[in-house]
Amino acid sequence: MRILVTAGNTHAPIDRVRCLTNIFTGRTGARIALYAHERGHDVTLLTSHPELVSDTQKLPSKGLSVRAYCTFDDLQNLMGEFIARRGFDAVVHCAAVSDYLAAGVYSPAPHTHFLPDGRWTSDAGMPALMDRAAGKVKSDEPELWIRLVRAPKLVDRIRSDWNFRGVLVKFKLEAGVNDEKLLEIAERSRQHSAADVMVANTLEGADAWAFLGPIHDRYERIERPALPSRLLAQIESLLEERGRG
């Protein structure tokens, strides 16, 4: 079986030295990739932290390929290249991808002020913002405003744009919700992306457990250390069923 795993965070550049990102390092994705390789599968890992693999063990000469990325665009380009052309049986999309990208950096024009109630005002004419984009945005302004725009959902491109027809695994993280609400959100999200398998957890419980499913029409609560083995068993089972069909 040929498996593609994405792992880690993405950088959304603000300028050439600053970026927006998140706290995730890709440890879960790396563990899944290594376990799948141990099971004898041919694995490609796209990760923002390749040192999690290369620093802990000598990479095998066959069966495990690691490609590093940094920015959102890097990951998008790699996924497009690999998924569309490499004939994978399964894609495990574990990467914590940026939801928003920076689309400009601005400062208030002279006499323009932002009020605590959310309104802009000006002492002279219409409120205005001044473009401060640069290779390195200057740090001499009292305040800067970064315009954010929604990033494309890479997981939603896997089926539609990259025409992937194998087993697709999606990950979903929520904060401050109970199990019932988490599973409701997760299943709706799985169906939206046409994913076969969902791994869902909360920020508060991320280090301890995750829900995996649907397995026989329900989600199972899995202890975190057991996630790679249970996930691979489910992927293998789905591919076996399709092979028989």
Which residue carries 């965070």 as its tokens? Answer: 9
CA 159 to the chain's CA centroid = 16
Rg of the Cα trace of the chain?
21
- Which tokens belong to 89? 């049986």
Q: What is residue 61's predicted lDDT score, i.e. its pLDDT?
A: 58
Sequence spans of domains, the chain: 2-99+152-244, 101-149
Three-state secondary structure string covering 49-82: CCHHHHCCCCCCCCCEEEEECCEHHHHHHHHHHH
State how far the Cα of 154 lies from the Cα of 76, in Å rounded to an integer. 7
For the chain, report the end-to-end CA distance as a whole number of angstroms: 17
This prediction has a pTM of 0.92
Looking at residue 53, what is its pLDDT? 85
> In which region does residue 108 sit, left (phi positive, over 0), alpha (psi from -120 to 50) or beta (all else)?
beta
Domain 2-99+152-244 has what CATH class? alpha beta
pLDDT of residue 244: 67
Q: Using alpha carbons, select from 28, 25, 80 the residue that is nearest to residue 227.
A: 28
pLDDT at 58: 56
Spell out the per-residue pLDDT of the chain, length 245, in tens: 999 999 999 999 999 999 999 999 999 999 999 999 999 999 999 999 999 887 555 555 589 999 999 999 999 999 999 998 889 999 999 999 999 999 999 999 999 999 999 999 999 889 999 999 999 999 999 999 999 999 999 999 999 999 999 999 999 999 999 999 999 999 999 999 999 999 999 999 989 999 999 999 999 999 999 999 999 999 999 999 988 65
Round to whole Å and give the CA distance between 219 and 205: 16
